[in-house]
A and B are shown apart, each in its own frame.
Chain A
């Protein structure tokens, strides 16, 4: 069964509003979570790396004030897209990993559409 739960699976929001996406690790304590974004017909692009209890590390070109990441516990990380615009419409995917693991587990993704 799934070890990572991402919610919601899809969301439509109005331009200018904020959207929160949750990523939960179901079976283990995730020390590190990664957030990816995938545009149509393109690769998954890493947005940020999130470690529990510390600030997220953002990849170059990703606005940290626009994509707020909170990793408040070992089982939950959230990505908030603030003041969303149509160009933020994309597929957002989280992955989680725990200490000593050699592979990450992925959530099912969230399809965000900003209208």
Chain B
């Protein structure tokens, strides 16, 4: 069974600081990898995803993530965070099942960006 580990549970940054959130997974097969964001009071939204191809994927709002197969990692990065990036971020591994990706989530990282 797959598992996902997010090492940073709470991160506090000042605006314009760079962000990197760690995500490691364990899964024996071909992985589909995702980062989701949940802004306060809102739905989970997809930030970016990796299925195959270029291991550096770019998502919405200036976020990117790099899949490093040898390290079983899929870290999320943003060069310069904004106050509006305050949210909870979830890394997830997808296993294709019954018509869609069955997701295993990490525990989430709460990001607070201070002005």
Binding site for B on A (CB under 8 A): 2, 4, 31-32, 34, 36, 41-46, 49, 51, 57, 93, 95, 97, 99, 101-109
- Chain B residues in the interface with A (C-beta under 8 A): 4, 9, 32, 34, 36, 42-46, 49, 51, 90, 97-108
Could you say which of A43, A99, A101 contacts B108, with CB atoms under 8 Å apart?
A43
Q: How many A-B residue pairs have CB under 8 A?
A: 62
18 pairs, A vs B, C-beta closer than 8 Å: A2-B43, A31-B99, A34-B102, A41-B107, A43-B106, A43-B108, A44-B105, A45-B105, A49-B98, A51-B98, A51-B99, A95-B44, A97-B100, A102-B49, A102-B51, A103-B34, A104-B100, A106-B43
Please state if A103 and B49 are interface contacts (CB–CB under 8 Å): yes
Closest CB in chain A relative to B39 CB, distance in Å: 11
Taking a contact as CB atoms under 8 Å apart, the answer to whether B46 and A103 are in contact is yes
Residue from B36, B42, B101, B104 with most neighbouring chain A CB atoms (10 Å): B101
